[in-house]
Amino acid sequence: DAIRDVRKQVQRNRKAWDKDPKELPVFGTIASKFNDDGLTAFYHALLNLINQKKNKGFTSSIPETGVKESSSKTIIIPGERTRYLAEIADTVRQYHLDTRNQADAVRERWHLASALELLDTGTDSPDQALARLKQALEEAQNQVEPQTDDLITAYTASSKAFEKDEFVYQVRDREFRVPLYTKSLSHSKIPKIARPGFSDPGDQYQWMRKENFAGQFPYTAGVFPLKRADEDPTRMFAGEGGPADTNRRFKLLSSSYPAKRLSTAFDSVTLYGFDPDRRPDIYGKIGTSGVSICTLEDVKVLYDGFDLCAPNTSVSMTINGPAPMMLAMFLNTAIHQQMDKFEKEHGRKPDENEAADIRAFALSTVRGTVQADILKEDQGQNTCIFSIEFALKMMGDIQQYFIDHQVKNFYSVSISGYHIAEAGANPITQLALTLANGFTYVEYYLSRGMHIDEFAPSLSFFFSNGMDPEYTVIGRVARRIWAVAMRYKYKGNDKSQKLKYHIQTSGRSLHSQDIQFNDIRTTLQGLCAIYDNCNSLHTNAFDEAITTPSAESVRRALAIQLIINREWGLAKNENPLQGSFIVDELTDLVEEAVLVEFERITERGGVLGAMETGYQRGKIQEESMYYEHLKHSGKLPLIGINTFEDPDANYADMANHLELSRSTEEQKNAQLERLDAFKAAHEDARETALKRLQETALNGGNMFAELMETVKVCSLGTITGALYEVGGKYRRNM
């Protein structure tokens, strides 16, 4: 409409009534779009004009588009789907309304049946009251849907299943047998699953629809029937210096565990897609507050000694902007390990068919998660490096590659609320924005032609746990909203309905003043996460308020989880939150608040529309300032900070006694030497690989499939630079 109106105005201004408006020098461009067709057309027209007027021979390597407007605009969310969040809110509310209506009908039928049983004398004499009662019972029966009775029957069956001494269930082809009771030191029989004692079938039905046993829809209590006895949910975050340094820290953290659950922190140089460099602004940050990784060889060293395809090994990588490159390096490392294993076992290299089988096995077996959540980067953090459209295209390419190559044990994205919370959002906003981002990815992947059950099981979530009451229910609310939306709106299967999430205790709740109290806060937050059946957990070290944690403080943080899981009595039960009045009320309250936020975002054009106006960032800043105001005024009591302060403490002196973790000159220089050696070894192949990657991007091919080859000969920084040229750099909307 805009280009049509401008063309008509230009036609009127020039009185060019004999010309077709489309022939006029009017170009439709989108200023925020990289490689815009309209701007390319204007550039070619300008070159031609200069050539005509000045008799020059300017040419361009950029091909002409054949149009005068933005024809290749990427549609992330189709226009007819922009109200998806409001539709999800309607779906969840309708689900609860249906639940209440059916529960009332079941309860009425039960009451009428009980009354009829009391009144029915067994005589054949007509009785008007009895007839009316039977008619009312029949009408009540007609109000109850068949699946309602099925659910009530399932309640009884599930209760009996958890009454036994042992629970038997299957995951894929494996059968698990788990004892359902533990004995306390007082010889009390402690149930792993405490069962509700409802006799009213209306209550039974309502509980099954709102709560249910863990492992059953709507998964409010958890997505698995029971916790794994052989694997604690521990996943500790680590990264420092070069790859060999972090490899040693990984081995320290996992030495006491048969299950190796590694979580990788990268330095800021890596997070922004740069190579280590001698430039002062980069050199000082190499290997500080995270590990420096820039080549495939670095990743091989980073995970050396860990079998990435072992069933008890999983790896999480906290990286976003350069996530596609890092993921390609990681998957190549997993494949390389299996190739080496074959060579050692057989004394030769695999042939072409064997290599293809090994590659397929590695991709289908490797376990882990890459964060790769670009929406939250714009909203709550700042490591966007590519334009949002281009970054989303690469995310979609990763997911399509996972589908094509049967990568089923690795999560293609960790949709993250943690950073949103750390930036200042309260727990309700954290949950609402994170789920909204998750549903945006769902809509985008669907618009690319993927089936919901092909990609939804590859999505995972990451939340913070702080001190606010809403954190007690953040996981159960997330699971219920996701499950209901997946089943009733997107028609996803059981696997698609299961929301799995990682918890990290709140970094923002840690304070440098009376730093020893931080472990107490972390313990309470960790207890909340374990009670809510999180799928993995990182407990922060007390000194993270000041520095990268030491080995000693990390050991203490790890002990928090171990003490809760192994020593704390109530943790022997796996559904301690179910049946609590306050937990039930909080769950409903937080859920409705999230749905209201969905509607606010919808009013602003959905998640992407709201991002254009800075809605999410503004909301986070408001809530952050509110918290800081309460903290500094003393209205929000914080022990050791604004109340119960130690009058004799010298906090500056205490902080000075903490050892600050910084990478050494030797570590930095070693990393630079490794990079130089890698570049020298692959100098001949680098340019060809980069050109092939750029052509794939420009032609709309699968960039991740090409990156799997590119990372073999190119460093992180060179790949980032090449992709900037075809995808554009990130620019924040103002």
The pLDDT of residue 396 is: 97
The two beta strands, 174-179 and 166-171, are antiparallel
Tens of pLDDT, residues 450-459: 999 999 999 9
Average pLDDT, the chain: 93
| Mean pLDDT of the 369-377 span | 96
Beta-bridge partner residues of 315: 262, 368
The proportion of the chain whose per-residue pLDDT surpasses 70, expressed as a percent, equals 96
Tens of pLDDT, residues 147-160: 999 999 999 999 99
Is the CB of residue 120 less than 8 Å from the CB of residue 619? no
Alpha-helical segments (H) within 61-197: 84-119, 128-143, 146-161
| Mean pLDDT of the 558-575 span | 95
Is it true that the peptide bond before 218 is cis, omega within 30 degrees of 0?
A: yes
Which tokens hold the place of 224? 């698995």
| Mean pLDDT of the 427-444 span | 99
Say if residue 176's pLDDT is above 60.
yes
CA distance 724 to 729: 6
User: SS3 for 255?
Assistant: coil
User: SS3 for 413?
Assistant: strand
| Mean pLDDT of the 254-274 span | 91
* HSE-up of residue 528 (Cα within 13 Å, Cβ side): 27
The pLDDT of residue 229 is: 79
| Mean pLDDT of the 126-136 span | 81
Handedness of CA 696, 701, 707, 712 (dihedral sign): negative
Residues 6+ apart with CB under 8 A from 82: 602, 605, 606, 609
Residues 6+ apart with CB under 8 A from 6: 26
Say if residue 118's pLDDT is above 90.
no
Structural domain spans, the chain: 2-73
The pLDDT of residue 448 is: 96
The pLDDT of residue 554 is: 87
Say if residue 730's pLDDT is above 60.
yes
| Mean pLDDT of the 40-62 span | 89
User: SS3 for 192?
Assistant: coil
Say if residue 122's pLDDT is above 70.
no
The proportion of the chain whose per-residue pLDDT surpasses 90, expressed as a percent, equals 77
| Mean pLDDT of the 653-657 span | 70
The pLDDT of residue 575 is: 98
Say if residue 40's pLDDT is above 60.
yes
The pLDDT of residue 326 is: 98
CA distance 504 to 484: 25
Highest mean pLDDT among 48-57, 84-93, 175-184, 656-665: 84-93
The pLDDT of residue 2 is: 82
Is the CB of residue 325 less than 8 Å from the CB of residue 273? yes
Higher pLDDT, 593 or 73: 593
Is the CB of residue 399 less than 8 Å from the CB of residue 451? no
Closest residue by Cα to residue 668 from 286, 267, 270, 266? 286
| Chain center to CA of 376 | 10
Q: Which of 9-18, 189-198, 229-238, 265-274 has the lowest mean pLDDT?
A: 229-238
